[in-house]
């Protein structure tokens, strides 16, 4: 069977589940990973006959996609912030919104030798991006999961980014962040359990719950703890950055105000939702 026929067949299988546009993107992604062909190669090889082995591999991926397994986990990587990063079911797949947070931090901070900590680092995407884009910054990533930290370590090595990685439960009351920090950033778990019913199966069934969900009765538990620690650890004029749940933007701002933060600002993402918070000590 020719490549163009396989492409049309694959899109037809995926479109009812994912929609036509995403089905086409997924099909290109499958071909790119299995054949190693970019979009130009795909166009140039449309009449090329594919082996039964390759067709079988494509069909296997389609079956997994129709069972809502994310394509990033199937192939073990994702393209984000100009980098190809390793991912696994032990870490969240980096979102486009999170790249907006990195952009904000990079634009805000052009000094060199800044001391930066990324709390709940997961795949290390934020820490690695900041290490590559802030001049001579000292960057540390903290996470409770040893498996997540293994992925983060691999990403730092592949991207040749100098990132120190530490396993730590940020909610442990005996733990404190080091002093003398210039930037603290966190994209912690922030989705309340009651929001599960409106979420897609590919997230609910495959991405790590520990990195996603917080109790309905305490949705700000991570922010509460990190904000407390940050107040003690940031230098004067140091900055705290969060990715947040828009549903709790007002509650979070009020909570931090009660904690003593005075320069608190909300920022919208590309979809117009309150997605980021910055506070300056």
| Residue 198 reports pLDDT greater than 90 | no
| Residue 202 reports pLDDT greater than 90 | no
The CA-atom distances, in angstroms, between 43 and each of 20, 32, 52, 114, 124 are 19, 12, 20, 46, 35
pLDDT tens per residue across span 116-158: 999 999 999 999 999 999 999 999 999 999 999 999 999 999 9
Question: CB burial class (10 A; 0-12, 13-18, 19+) of residue 187?
Answer: buried
Task: Choose the weakest-confidence range: 30-34, 37-41, 270-274.
Answer: 37-41
Q: Provide the whole-model pTM.
A: 0.94
Residue with tokens 């919104």: 97
Q: Given CA atoms 57, 58, 63, 67 in this order, what sign does their dihedral have?
A: positive
Predicted local confidence at residue 240, as pLDDT: 98
pLDDT, the chain, mean = 95
Rounded percentage of the chain residues whose pLDDT exceeds 70: 100
Output DSSP code: residue 199.
S
């Amino acid at each position: 069977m020719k490549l163009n026929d396989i492409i049309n067949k694959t899109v037809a299988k995926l479109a009812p589940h994912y929609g036509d546009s995403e089905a086409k993107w997924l099909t290109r992604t499958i071909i790119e990973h299995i054949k190693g062909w970019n979009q130009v190669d795909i166009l140039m090889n449309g009449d090329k006959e594919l082996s039964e082995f390759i067709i079988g591999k494509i069909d296997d991926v389609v079956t997994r996609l129709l069972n809502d397994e994310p394509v990033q986990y199937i192939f073990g990587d994702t393209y984000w912030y100009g980098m190809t990063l390793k991912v696994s079911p032990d870490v969240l797949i980096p979102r486009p919104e999170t790249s907006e947070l990195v952009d904000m931090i990079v634009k805000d901070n052009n000094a060199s030798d800044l001391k930066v900590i990324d709390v709940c680092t997961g795949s290390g995407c934020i820490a690695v991006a900041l290490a590559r884009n802030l001049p001579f910054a000292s960057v540390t990533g903290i996470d409770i999961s040893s498996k997540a930290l293994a992925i983060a370590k691999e990403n730092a090595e592949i991207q040749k980014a100098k990132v120190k990685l530490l396993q730590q439960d940020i909610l442990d009351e005996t733990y404190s962040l080091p002093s003398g920090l210039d930037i603290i950033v966190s994209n912690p778990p922030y989705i309340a359990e009651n929001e599960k019913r409106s979420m897609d199966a590919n997230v609910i069934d495959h991405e790590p719950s520990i990195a996603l969900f917080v109790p309905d009765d305490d949705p700000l538990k991570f922010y509460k703890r990190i904000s407390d620690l940050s107040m003690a650890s940031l230098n004067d004029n140091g900055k705290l950055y969060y990715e947040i749940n828009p549903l709790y933007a007002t509650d979070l701002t009020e909570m931090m105000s009660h904690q003593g933060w005075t320069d608190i600002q909300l920022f919208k993402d590309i979809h117009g939702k309150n997605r980021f918070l910055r506070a300056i000590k």
